[in-house]
Structure 1
C-alpha cells in the first residue's frame, strides 16, 4: 500500500473507531442457528469487533426489505488492523470457514457476503478469481459453496483502488459478478484516485447503503 493510501487509512481508523463505538455488539451471530438469511460481514480498519457502523446500517436497511424472513448476522472475526497482509489473511480464513460451516449445517440459509474498506478487501479475495497485485492472492470459494451465496456487497473497496485490481469487484469475479454490487463514493481515496477522505465515510448519508440493500434484497 502506498504512503498516500496508508495515510488515508490512518485517518479512516480514527474516524471509524469513533463512529463504530456504539455498534460493538451489533455483529454477533443471531440466536437462530439457521436463519433464512445470514449476512457475513467484515468491518473496516480500526473498527471495534462487530460489523462496523456501515455494516450495521446496511443490515438495518436490508431487514425490512425481506419481509418476514429472519436475518442472522456473522461478524468476520479478524484483527482489522493496519498490518494489512496478516489482518486480511486472517479475515479471509475466517470468512471462508463461516461459509463452509453454513453450507454444511444450514444449507437452506441464503448468504450475503459483505465488507467495508479493508473488510471489502477480505470479501474480494474470497469471491474474485482474477488476482489483484501487491502480493494479495485470491482464494475464491468453490462453486459448490458459492451456490449458497445470494449476493455480495462491498463499500469503499481498496481492491479497486490504488495499485490493486483497479476494477470493481463484478469485473474480476466471473462466479459472483451477476450478484455483486461494489459501491465507491465519488472522491473516496481508498477505492478510487480521489482525494476526499470524508467520502470514505459517506456511504450511509449518500444513499449508497440504501441502494445496496435494495439490490441485495432483489437477489434474495
Structure 2
C-alpha cells in the first residue's frame, strides 16, 4: 500500500504545481462534498471499494444528483486473516471523525460488503464486545458523531453463526445507527444467512437488485436529512419586523355641537341702562 500512496502523493504534487493560483480557492471550495461514502470492500477484493461498492456508489450518485458524492475506500488488508479487520475498523473510524470535524455539513454514509460489512458494522458499535480487551480494539466513536452519519448500508454482513466459526464476536449495530441502517442478505447466502448453504450467491448482490435497494434506502435518508436542514434553516432565520403606519399629523376634528347646559343668546337688546341719545352739534363761530 505504501507504493500506492507514494504514487498518489506524487500525482497530487504535480497537479498542484501546474494549477494556476487563481484556481486554488475554487479547488478548496470543493473539498467538502455533499455526501461522503465510506465503504469497506469484501475479502480478497482488490484495493478500493470493490465491485459491490462501485455498483452501490454509482446507483446512489444517480439518485441524489446533482449533489456531490465523495468516496473513501477503507484501507485494510481484507484477507482471510480476519482479525486484521481491526485495521479497517480503526481506519474507517479515523476517517469518519476527521470528516465530521473538517466538513460538518457533509452527510456521511457507512457501507461495506462481506468482511467489509463487518468492519462498517463494528464502526457503529456503542460498546466494545464482551471478552475483547479495550487495548486491542478502537474506542467506540463519540455519540454525537452519529449526527453526521445519514445512513449505513451493509451487504452480506456475516451472521452470528459465521462469526462464531471464525471465533469473532457478533456484530452489534449501535443504537444511534439502527434506524438508519439497512442490512441486506441474499437468501441462502452462506456468510449472512443463518441457514445459508451457498457461497456462490454471496457475490450476487448487484444481480438480485439488493445494491439498488440499498442505494434507494440511503438516498431517501439523505433527502429526508436535507429537507430537515432546509426547514431548520428557515425556522432560524430572523422574522422581519413590521413597521406601524404613522398616524396623520393633524386629524380633522368633528364639528362641535352647541352645549345644552348654556342658555341661548337673547334675540333682543341686552338688559341694562339705555344708551344716551346723541348730543346735537352746534356750529362754533369763526
Please classify the TM superposition score into its range, dividing by the shorter chain length.
0.7 to 0.9
> CA distance change for structure 1 residues 173 and 159 in 2, over 3 Å: closer, same or farther?
farther
1:128: Cα distance to partner? Answer: 2.8
What is the RMSD of the two structures over their aligned residues, measured on CA atoms?
2.2
Partner SS for 2:150:
strand
1:151–1:219 Cα contact (<8 Å) kept: yes
Q: Per-residue deviation at 1:81?
A: 1.1
Between Structure 1 and Structure 2, whose CA radius of gyration is higher? 2
* 1:195 is aligned to 2:193: no
Instruction: Write the mapping of 1:46-195 to structure 2, written as runs, cut at 5 A.
Output: 46-85=44-83, 87-129=84-126, 135=132, 139-162=139-162, 163=164, 172-192=173-193, 193-195=195-197
* Cα distance per residue 1:153-193 (max 9 Å; x no partner): 111101544226668x6xx4311000000111101111123
After TM superposition, give the deviation of residue 126 of structure 1 in Å: 1.1
Residue of structure 2 in register with 1:12 after alignment: none
- Which 4+ stretches in 1 moved above 4 angstroms? 130-139, 164-167
Q: Does the 8 Å CA contact 1:80/1:118 hold for their aligned counterparts?
A: yes
Q: Which SS does the other structure have where 1:88 is aligned? A: helix
Q: How far apart are residue 67 of structure 1 and its match?
A: 2.5
Unaligned runs of 5+ in 1: 1-30
Query: Structure 2 vs 1, CA of residues 33 and 161 (structure 1 numbering), >3 Å: closer, same or farther?
Result: farther
Residues 42 and 113, structure 2, Cα contact 8 Å, conserved in 1: yes
Distance (Å, rounded) in 1 between the aligned partners of 2:63 and 2:212? 10
CA–CA distance in structure 2, aligned partners of residues 140 and 55 of structure 1: 24
| Distance change in 2, residues 1:161/1:124 (3 Å) | farther
Query: What is the SS of the residue equivalent to 1:147?
Result: helix
TM-score computed with the length of structure 2 as normaliser = 0.60
More contact order relative to length (CA 8 Å, sep ≥ 6): 1
SS at match of 2:39: strand
| TM-score of the pair, normalised by structure 1 | 0.78
Uncovered stretches (5+) of structure 2, i.e. residues with no partner: 1-26, 223-286
